């Protein structure tokens, strides 16, 4: 089973403009994928939009019925520190989001092209949302 990590910018765009999560969720259902949401993403969404994590998750539940939220583990923190040291442009929260994708073996979906490039250098499958929707 494939798991997908969404960057905070995908959820922020969904909250602000709509329509993006519906297409991603449709593709996920077709391929029986699961959504993984790192805790840092909920914090970033709150910082940018003011949306409470519970409200954000309710918005996500409209499209993805059983998302998996992932807390920072020692393994994720260690991996994020390694990524930050190796790639100067990959800072918090990007390093934690990428580390979560790597540790969980997930595909990363983001609008951040620098993060996508770093993910690919780390061997993590990574897509812009429109490319993920079309992929496969």
d(CA 52, CA 88): 30
- Annotate 9-75 with DSSP letters as a single string: HHHHHHHHH-SHHHHHHHHHHHTT-EEEEEHHHHHHHHHHH---HHHHHHHHHTT-SS-EEE---HH
pLDDT of residue 77: 97
Number of domains in the chain: 1
pLDDT (average), residues 99-124: 97
Pairing state of beta strands 68-70 and 107-109? unpaired
Residue 74 sits in a domain whose CATH number is 3.40.50.1010
For the chain, report the end-to-end CA distance as a whole number of angstroms.
14
Q: What contacts 24+ positions apart, CB below 8 Å, involve 76-85?
A: 76/38, 76/100, 76/103, 79/103, 83/118, 83/122
What is the number of other CB atoms lying within 10 angstroms of the CB of residue 73? 12
Domain carrying residue 95: 3-134
Share of the chain above pLDDT 90, in %: 92
pLDDT tens profile 27-80: 999 999 999 999 999 999 999 999 999 999 999 999 998 899 999 999 999 999
pLDDT at residue number 136: 61
Residue 101: band (very low, low, confident or very high) from pLDDT cuts 50, 70, 90: very high
**What's the pLDDT score for residue 24?**
96
């Amino acid at each position: 089973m494939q798991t997908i990590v969404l960057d905070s910018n995908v959820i922020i765009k969904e909250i602000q403009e709509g329509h993006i999560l519906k297409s991603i969720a449709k593709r996920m259902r077709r391929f029986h994928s699961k959504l993984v949401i790192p805790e840092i993403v909920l914090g970033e969404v709150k910082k940018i939009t003011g949306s409470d994590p519970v409200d954000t998750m309710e918005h996500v539940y409209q499209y993805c019925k059983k998302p998996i939220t992932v807390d920072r583990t020692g393994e994720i923190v260690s991996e994020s520190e390694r990524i930050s040291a190796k790639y100067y442009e990959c800072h918090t929260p990007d390093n934690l989001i990428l580390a979560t994708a790597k540790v969980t073996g997930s595909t990363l979906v983001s609008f951040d092209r620098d993060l996508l490039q770093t993910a690919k250098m780390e061997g993590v499958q990574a897509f812009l949302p429109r490319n993920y929707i079309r992929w496969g």
